[in-house]
Chains A and B, each alone.
Chain A
Amino acid sequence: MGKHRVSHPYIPNSVPEVQKQMMQEIGITHIEELYCDIPGELRFKGEMNMPEPLVSEWQLVRHMEQILSKNQTAKEALSFLGAGCYRHYVPAICDEIAGRAEFLTAYAGEPYEDHGRFQALFEYQSMMAELLDMDVVNVPTYDWCQAASTALRMAGRITNRTEVLVAGNTNPQRLLAIGNYCHPAMKVHPVEYNRETGRLDIQGLKGKLTDNVAAVYLENPNYFGVIESDGAAIAGIAHENGSLFVVGSDPISLGILAPPSHYGADIACGDIQSLGIHMNFGGGVAGFVATQDTEEYVAEFPFRLFGIARTEVEGEWGFGDVYYDRTSFAKRELGKEFVGTAAALWGITAGVYLALMGPKGMQEIGRAIMQNSYYAASNLSEIQGVSIRNTGSPFFREFVANFDESGLTVARVNMALREKGIWGGKDISREFPELGQSALFCVTEMHTREDIWILCDALREIIASGKATVEGEATANRIAMAEEKARGNGKGERQ
């Protein structure tokens, strides 16, 4: 290796003597000869501008730890952030299995030498199938954005229609991804939500249905955490129109909430990050799509579907790809959409989680989340200057708190909270300007009663002192910057 003259630990054949033997076998005298097919004008003649390498492992560790120490984690703070990425307890065994070298480094092995990978993912599909009460679940795709987008494109192909109606209380990130993924094949129309209840506006939905609507898409609980009580009615309206009903949900809720198939969903989708996977700055997401087991639906999946089989030895299980010819791996552009490396390890991890939790665990966690979040909403509602929105609607894990009466912006409240080591709810004032200065608070099974009291005390203090806390120009500037940033954050988040 040039001036370092040391064989790099990651590159065994950098030993000169070995290289010589190999070149002899090839019939060359210098490695450079192997590149003779690249014309001179394509050769990169400059030098890549990069820092000197951290050649010892210790140097690398020190460097990385120095940078990463600048992060404050959700463990070190008291966080009420959710909005698509959630801090639930991750059982130790989930980490143990996700970190196993075999699973971590396997890729595209055959169902023989990778029997374990196939079985673990088949079991993941099977446990999700029980939770969703549907027979077909895919090997995980990238995330809920991809899952919802594909569910809608599947609906388009199944109904041979080219428009979809998407609830306006859908996660704004999802709306952006769906919008891009469907363009130009399908038109996406948002449907209004009711400002009082936070739920989909049924009259608005009826007004938008046409005979070209392939599907109605609804998230439940929706972005505001609200449970869409009218799910069954909405399914009826969609079906009467010949449209499919596509429902996105978080499986962590399904120990107590009815799965989408029970109130008429034809396709269910969502994200499994809540099931034993760390937040990873948003990198812990993974998507599922579920349907009933009919050829019509299975044929439209772009993703891999692992099936169980027999081998030539009595009593032995084998696995393999079901209906592989649907995929772009088999058919390129003639396959259904596309498939590629997505998020299989999170599928295995979520399977471990469901196996640990069992039916009882899923019920208990759903209840704990609901009680904690109801408790938090109720305590917040008692703070002067804070009002809880959508109060008539049942909710799960998340709820909207409005700060209009406090005279403070969410940006300012959150900055003041941060100084106390608290991360307030996600500022949704730019995503949903019609809701005024509102934040989306997330409360899980990990929050204690004391955590909620700490939040409430801090909010009381911040609101009471109000503008009085603005001392000096520096603080005022920082607030202005925070508010400016909140505006920036809103940009591009909602079209």
Chain B
Amino acid sequence: MEARKPLLRRGFHQAKWDEPIIFELSQPGERGILVPQAEAGVRAEAGEPWNHLPQTMTRKAPPALPELSQARVLRHYLRLSQATLGADLNIETGQGTCTMKYSPKVNEKFPSSSKVAELHPFQDDETAQGILEIIHKTDMLLREISGLGRFSFQPGGGSQAALAIASIIRAYHDSRGEGKQRDEIITTVFSHPCNAATAAVKGFKIVTIYPDQDGYPDFEALKSAVSQRTAGLMITNPEDTGVFNPRIKEFTRIVHEAGGLCSYDQANANGILGVTRAKEAGFDLCFFNLHKTFSSPHGCGGPGSGAVGVTKELERFLPVPVVDFDGEKYSLNYDLSDSIGKVKMFYGGIQAVVRAYAWIMSLGAEGLEAVARTAVLNSNYLLSKIRKIQGVEVPYASGKHRFEQVRYSWGPLTEGTGVTTEDVQRRMCDFGLHYWTSHHPWIVPEPFTLEPTESYSKQELDEYVEALQEISREAYENHEVVKNAPYRSVVHKISPEWFDDPDKWAISWRSYLKKHGGKVET
């Protein structure tokens, strides 16, 4: 190969505008946009109805919003956008469990067109045949991918999908008169926290299974956990460690024998598309995050979509409405006998459904399998490279391959140099790369979780590895360099003392002014 520029971006510096808080930019009298006024004839007839409101319902003083001209608002937000890295710009491998893959630009054209953006949820079905068709067809595609019977797109994200599932599990046992008795949900510590948290919202006690010595969910612990009180299992596989539980079918069998339902957290299914499915593993319910595996962008944390799938037997519990197709027309169906009702307004994050449909259609069955295989190849390639870095450990499942992600540990690095995974995190910013630690609790010491997806080239993965290598070298040679990072990010090391002290935290600008006595400079 011909000589190329070194992969590591030593000359990187993120855009830094030193942009003030928007209130600091306010100039009374400036206007950002003008609002259409009621026409003269309307005004003449309608009068000023706000003058007839009771005093307690009238706003006395206008809200103290900033006043800015239009281009100044634009510049402000453009500058803030430049101070945001975003997956389009970086090798977004560091955010394990979140499947930060490429969101194809062409797929943005569809939800942003007025043919989606300007649809009202209560317009007549006859006028919404196109969007209903896409919802229905995406349901059909996900049925193929999961082997389950029907999907609802109502939940706005994976955690809300888990809430819908916990609600369905409760409604199922209620419908059988066992709702009071069955009050326990079993999960594993390496399943996403939303499973435990949403089950607790629905009043379940949580039984958490920890890994055995090899990093697999402890089978013996599961056996002793099930009882007449078991309502269900909410679990992910492969777990957040990237380890696939090969006994998963025994897990679902044991829970079924105890009378519980089994839910498969497939928020991230990127390594197993077309390889193994919820159905074959014995699951009754599952959910997919369309903003993860199915490429819809993450939008700084939503809107996304958590598509909930159930077996035919559980269809009647889904939130309403679902989309029916009678061979000719698509329609919204509110008539599910034991529906949990609603978890979200209307029909969910439709933009994500449209993008996911387009993404699947651009790949087909064979393409989806290629996605999974490449994601797993990339992940194991990273694993092979990273385990050679000084200070890194790869706990669990020794000698085994991993799936689409791997949980690593900087335990030895911290012991040897005092540099922690959070120090590494800040230093990675200096190379133009995002790096996340891991969900809590940190059972793996000083953890990080990498998920390269199918979207990055070998060369880009090598760049990511080089950055980690460089930071390890720095830690052992001069750990202060890492400890005091970042230097070339947007801002420098943030002082944490305003975050957990009620006298100091400031969740709004007005709170900041009250607590810290700052003055708005005009």
Whether the Cβ atoms of B116 and A173 lie closer than 8 Å is no
Q: With A73-B115, A111-B494 in contact, do A492 and B351 touch (Cβ < 8 Å)?
A: no
CB distance from B454 to the nearest CB of A (A): 5
Which residues of the partner chain B approach A474 to less than 8 Å between Cβ atoms?
none
Question: With A and B bound together, what is the CA distance between A321 and B62 in angstroms?
Answer: 30
Whether the Cβ atoms of A137 and B349 lie closer than 8 Å is no
- Select which of A19, A91, A110 is within 8 A of B425 by beta carbon: A110
- Select which of A34, A38, A127, A320 is within 8 A of B66 by beta carbon: A127
Question: With A and B bound together, what is the CA distance between A459 and B320 in angstroms?
Answer: 32
Place the interface of chain A in its size category.
Answer: 35 or more
Whether A446 is near chain B, meaning CB under 8 Å from some CB there, is: yes
- Select which of A38, A309, A333 is within 8 A of B275 by beta carbon: A38
Q: With A286-B303, A310-B498 in contact, do A100 and B120 touch (Cβ < 8 Å)?
A: no
Whether the Cβ atoms of A8 and B367 lie closer than 8 Å is yes
Q: Which of B409-417, B469-477, B505-513 lines the interface with chain A? A: B505-513
CB distance from B326 to the nearest CB of A (A): 12
- Select which of B41, B331, B341, B507 is within 8 A of A492 by beta carbon: B341
Q: Which of B2-10, B29-37, B221-229, B255-263 lines the interface with chain A? A: B29-37
Whether the Cβ atoms of A115 and B342 lie closer than 8 Å is no
Whether the Cβ atoms of B376 and A31 lie closer than 8 Å is yes
Whether the Cβ atoms of A255 and B159 lie closer than 8 Å is no
Which residues of the partner chain B approach A258 to less than 8 Å between Cβ atoms?
56-60
CB distance from B493 to the nearest CB of A (A): 5
Whether the Cβ atoms of B426 and A110 lie closer than 8 Å is yes
Which chain B residue shows the least CB distance to A394?
A: B53
Whether the Cβ atoms of B67 and A67 lie closer than 8 Å is no
Which residues of the partner chain B approach A69 to less than 8 Å between Cβ atoms?
115, 130
Q: Could you give, for residues 61-89 of chain B, a 1 whenever the CB lies within 8 Å of some chain A CB and a 0 otherwise?
A: 01111111010011011111111111111
CB distance from A225 to the nearest CB of B (A): 12
Closest 8 pairs (CB-CB, A-B) = A340-B159, A282-B346, A53-B364, A356-B32, A116-B83, A282-B121, A345-B299, A328-B197
- Select which of B66, B81, B489 is within 8 A of A113 by beta carbon: B489
Which residues of the partner chain B approach A47 to less than 8 Å between Cβ atoms?
365
Question: With A and B bound together, what is the CA distance between A295 and B102 in angstroms?
Answer: 41
Whether the Cβ atoms of A363 and B122 lie closer than 8 Å is no
Whether B479 is near chain A, meaning CB under 8 Å from some CB there, is: no
Whether the Cβ atoms of B106 and A57 lie closer than 8 Å is yes
Whether A337 is near chain B, meaning CB under 8 Å from some CB there, is: yes
Whether B281 is near chain A, meaning CB under 8 Å from some CB there, is: yes
Question: With A and B bound together, what is the CA distance between A362 and B33 in angstroms?
Answer: 11
CB distance from A290 to the nearest CB of B (A): 9
Whether B356 is near chain A, meaning CB under 8 Å from some CB there, is: no
Which residues of the partner chain A approach B118 to less than 8 Å between Cβ atoms?
73-75, 87, 278-279
CB distance from A141 to the nearest CB of B (A): 8
Which residues of the partner chain B approach A468 to less than 8 Å between Cβ atoms?
none
Whether A218 is near chain B, meaning CB under 8 Å from some CB there, is: no
Query: Can you show 10 pairs from A to B with CB atoms below 8 A apart?
Result: A10-B101, A28-B401, A49-B144, A64-B354, A67-B130, A116-B82, A183-B203, A318-B495, A325-B500, A341-B301
Whether B23 is near chain A, meaning CB under 8 Å from some CB there, is: yes
Which chain B residue shows the least CB distance to A137?
A: B508
Whether the Cβ atoms of B370 and A11 lie closer than 8 Å is yes
Whether the Cβ atoms of A96 and B74 lie closer than 8 Å is yes
Whether B22 is near chain A, meaning CB under 8 Å from some CB there, is: yes
Which residues of the partner chain B approach A180 to less than 8 Å between Cβ atoms?
167, 340-343
Whether A250 is near chain B, meaning CB under 8 Å from some CB there, is: no
How many CB-defined contacts (below 8 Å) exist between A and B? 754
Q: With A71-B116, A173-B346, A354-B65 in contact, do A418 and B127 touch (Cβ < 8 Å)?
A: yes
Whether the Cβ atoms of A309 and B291 lie closer than 8 Å is no
The listed residue with most B CB atoms (<10 A of its CB), out of A12, A140, A305, A485, is A12
Question: Which A21-51 residues have a C-beta within 8 angstroms of B?
Answer: 21-23, 25-28, 31, 33-39, 41-44, 47-51
Place the interface of chain B in its size category.
Answer: 35 or more
The listed residue with most B CB atoms (<10 A of its CB), out of A55, A278, A312, A333, is A333
Whether B400 is near chain A, meaning CB under 8 Å from some CB there, is: yes
Q: Could you give, for residues 243-283 of chain B, a 1 whenever the CB lies within 8 Å of some chain A CB and a 0 otherwise?
A: 01010110000000000000000000000101111001100
Whether the Cβ atoms of B320 and A370 lie closer than 8 Å is no
Q: With A180-B343, A328-B197, A342-B156 in contact, do A37 and B246 touch (Cβ < 8 Å)?
A: yes
Question: With A and B bound together, what is the CA distance between A286 and B302 in angstroms?
Answer: 10
Whether the Cβ atoms of B401 and A33 lie closer than 8 Å is yes
Question: Which A245-297 residues have a C-beta within 8 angstroms of B?
Answer: 254-259, 262-263, 271, 278-283, 285-286, 293-295
Which residues of the partner chain A approach B122 to less than 8 Å between Cβ atoms?
81, 83, 85, 426
Which residues of the partner chain A approach B64 to less than 8 Å between Cβ atoms?
130, 359
CB distance from A466 to the nearest CB of B (A): 21
- Select which of A95, A107, A116, A130 is within 8 A of B100 by beta carbon: A107
Question: With A and B bound together, what is the CA distance between A194 and B450 in angstroms?
Answer: 58
Whether B157 is near chain A, meaning CB under 8 Å from some CB there, is: yes
Whether the Cβ atoms of A231 and B507 lie closer than 8 Å is no
Question: With A and B bound together, what is the CA distance between A57 and B36 in angstroms?
Answer: 40
Question: With A and B bound together, what is the CA distance between A120 and B19 in angstroms?
Answer: 11
Question: With A and B bound together, what is the CA distance between A355 and B26 in angstroms?
Answer: 9
Question: With A and B bound together, what is the CA distance between A363 and B304 in angstroms?
Answer: 32
Whether B175 is near chain A, meaning CB under 8 Å from some CB there, is: no
CB distance from B339 to the nearest CB of A (A): 6
Whether A436 is near chain B, meaning CB under 8 Å from some CB there, is: no
Question: With A and B bound together, what is the CA distance between A47 and B62 in angstroms?
Answer: 62
Which chain A residue shows the least CB distance to B200?
A: A333
Which residues of the partner chain A approach B62 to less than 8 Å between Cβ atoms?
255, 359-360, 362-363
Whether B374 is near chain A, meaning CB under 8 Å from some CB there, is: yes
What would 16 more interface pairs be, CB under 8 Å, given A48-B144, A256-B50?
Answer: A13-B456, A33-B401, A70-B133, A110-B426, A115-B490, A126-B21, A184-B202, A257-B53, A281-B120, A340-B160, A354-B65, A357-B32, A360-B31, A363-B59, A366-B50, A370-B49
Which residues of the partner chain B approach A283 to less than 8 Å between Cβ atoms?
111, 303, 346-352
Whether the Cβ atoms of B88 and A102 lie closer than 8 Å is yes
Question: With A and B bound together, what is the CA distance between A491 and B320 in angstroms?
Answer: 9
Whether the Cβ atoms of B384 and A73 lie closer than 8 Å is no
Question: With A and B bound together, what is the CA distance between A378 and B41 in angstroms?
Answer: 13
Which chain B residue shows the least CB distance to A87?
A: B120
- Select which of B194, B197, B300, B512 is within 8 A of A348 by beta carbon: B300
Which residues of the partner chain A approach B117 to less than 8 Å between Cβ atoms?
278-280
Q: With A85-B346, A449-B42 in contact, do A116 and B84 touch (Cβ < 8 Å)?
A: yes
CB distance from A380 to the nearest CB of B (A): 13
Whether the Cβ atoms of A254 and B59 lie closer than 8 Å is yes
Whether the Cβ atoms of B144 and A317 lie closer than 8 Å is no
Whether the Cβ atoms of B98 and A145 lie closer than 8 Å is no
Whether A109 is near chain B, meaning CB under 8 Å from some CB there, is: yes
Question: Which A360-382 residues have a C-beta within 8 angstroms of B?
Answer: 360-368, 370-372, 374-375, 378
Whether A97 is near chain B, meaning CB under 8 Å from some CB there, is: yes
Question: With A and B bound together, what is the CA distance between A32 and B473 in angstroms?
Answer: 35
Whether the Cβ atoms of A71 and B32 lie closer than 8 Å is no
CB distance from B463 to the nearest CB of A (A): 13
Which chain A residue shows the least CB distance to B380?
A: A26
Question: Which A79-107 residues have a C-beta within 8 angstroms of B?
Answer: 79, 81, 83-85, 87, 89, 91, 93, 95-97, 99-107
Whether A114 is near chain B, meaning CB under 8 Å from some CB there, is: yes
Whether A458 is near chain B, meaning CB under 8 Å from some CB there, is: no
Which residues of the partner chain A approach B403 to less than 8 Å between Cβ atoms?
34
Question: With A and B bound together, what is the CA distance between A255 and B40 in angstroms?
Answer: 21
Whether B52 is near chain A, meaning CB under 8 Å from some CB there, is: yes
CB distance from B512 to the nearest CB of A (A): 5
Question: With A and B bound together, what is the CA distance between A340 and B157 in angstroms?
Answer: 7
Whether A465 is near chain B, meaning CB under 8 Å from some CB there, is: no
Whether A206 is near chain B, meaning CB under 8 Å from some CB there, is: no
Whether B233 is near chain A, meaning CB under 8 Å from some CB there, is: no
Whether the Cβ atoms of A311 and B494 lie closer than 8 Å is yes
Q: With A68-B130, A323-B500 in contact, do A281 and B116 touch (Cβ < 8 Å)?
A: yes
The listed residue with most B CB atoms (<10 A of its CB), out of A116, A228, A311, is A116
Question: With A and B bound together, what is the CA distance between A66 and B18 in angstroms?
Answer: 46
Whether the Cβ atoms of B299 and A125 lie closer than 8 Å is no
Q: With A100-B81, A423-B123 in contact, do A10 and B490 touch (Cβ < 8 Å)?
A: no
